[in-house]
Amino acid sequence: MNRAVDVSVDAMIEDLRALVEVESPSHDIEALTASAHVVAAVVERRLGGRAVLVDSEVGPHVHWSGGGRPRVLVLGHHDTVFPLGTLRRRPFRAEGGYATGPGVFDMLGGLVQAVHGLASLDDLSGVELLVTADEEVGSPCSRALIEERARACGAVLVVEGAADGGALKTGRKGCGTFRVAIRGRASHAGLEPAAGVNALIEAAHQVLDIASLSRPALGTTVTPTVASAGTVANTVPAEATVVVDVRVESVDEKKRVESAFAVLEPHLAGAGLTVRGGIGRPPMPESASVELFALAQALLPGIEGRSVGGGSDGNFTAAIGVPTLDGLGAVGGGAHADHEYVVIDAMTERADLIAGLVHARQQA
């Protein structure tokens, strides 16, 4: 593998600071537009060429191509889960061996490592980089573009944060959210409680029915997570809502759970149900990563692979049959939390791994 330049930790920290210090919460189009311009500037400065901003309803995605026949797609996102103002409370820092700040691990650190890994190669033909603006909210506006570029390139390297201990993510569960809206009938809780239909009691029945859909032995978890009901203490509640998180390891389980939600029935006479949602990210089977993980093991002997519960855009690319390897981003932890961090000493090794995988795909 011929190198144009060596990977510089100081340069990576410089670019990571630039990305973190332009906050980019999902759904905030103004913030995401500013973030996309900074991402594009970093990409163009390090890789040359032109990074194209692809407008969408949720904010701009950033797409860059090294030209030639597409051979590999490096995939990431620039939206984060942190609201505007988080940076004031938790500013970017790089000290004591760690980089901290909103979005460093999920997934700005991985994005920076990918750019610098690519910049170390003297030939970037066949390489594409796609940085989306809506991954944290399920990728509703970027999915079609992701799948299009994945099919064109034939292999996908996802630079989401590594699993515990720096392991790569060789499989992911499919994941989704359901919202069950319950309709009852209000009445005075003291004068005529029997005249009402208690949506909260119906919700309690539904929570038990829904939780029973879990199949832990098959990797399926169905977890009611948020519930609300009622208005005031002396009124039988006429409405309730239950939100449910679902994770599945197989397409068969996806179908079973979705079918079960579709046929939920009320227990109380006069109650009604409306179910919305689904398992938006299909499972990423470990078979999708076999080829690329073998390359990673040859490049970095001893690196481990792990199947994890969280989803990413790699779920989409794997589901359409494109070889996909995930978790190639930063080594660290605390995703979506105040203690989010990146291990600085691991950044060069991960950038080199990206470079090596890209080079291997170029030669394939």
pLDDT at 5 > cutoff 90: no
- Rounded alpha-carbon distances, angstroms, from residue 88 to 22, 80, 82, 91, 92: 11, 16, 12, 6, 9
Residue 328 to residue 129: CA distance in whole angstroms: 14
Tens digit of each residue's pLDDT (9 = 90 or more) over 250-307: 999 999 999 999 999 999 999 999 999 999 999 999 999 999 999 999 999 999 999 9
Structure-token match 């490096």, residue found: 74
pLDDT at 1 > cutoff 90: no
Instruction: Return the pLDDT at 186.
Output: 98
Sign of CA dihedral 38, 41, 45, 46: positive
Alpha carbon 65 to its chain centroid, in Å, reads 23
pLDDT at 351 > cutoff 90: yes
pLDDT at 91 > cutoff 80: yes
**Residue 54 — pLDDT band, cuts 50, 70, 90?**
very high
In this structure, the strands spanning 61-65 and 72-77 are: unpaired
pLDDT at 3 > cutoff 90: no
pLDDT at 320 > cutoff 80: yes
Residue 36 to residue 133: CA distance in whole angstroms: 8
pLDDT at 2 > cutoff 80: no
**Residue 345 — pLDDT band, cuts 50, 70, 90?**
very high
pLDDT at 181 > cutoff 90: yes
Instruction: Return the pLDDT at 324.
Output: 98
Structure-token match 């009691």, residue found: 201
Instruction: Return the pLDDT at 286.
Output: 96
What's the mean pLDDT in 176-199?
Answer: 98
Tens digit of each residue's pLDDT (9 = 90 or more) over 99-150: 999 999 999 999 999 999 999 999 999 999 999 999 999 999 999 999 999 9
Structure-token match 């227990």, residue found: 267
What's the mean pLDDT in 27-33?
Answer: 98
Question: What percent of the chain clears pLDDT 90, i.e. is strictly above it?
Answer: 98
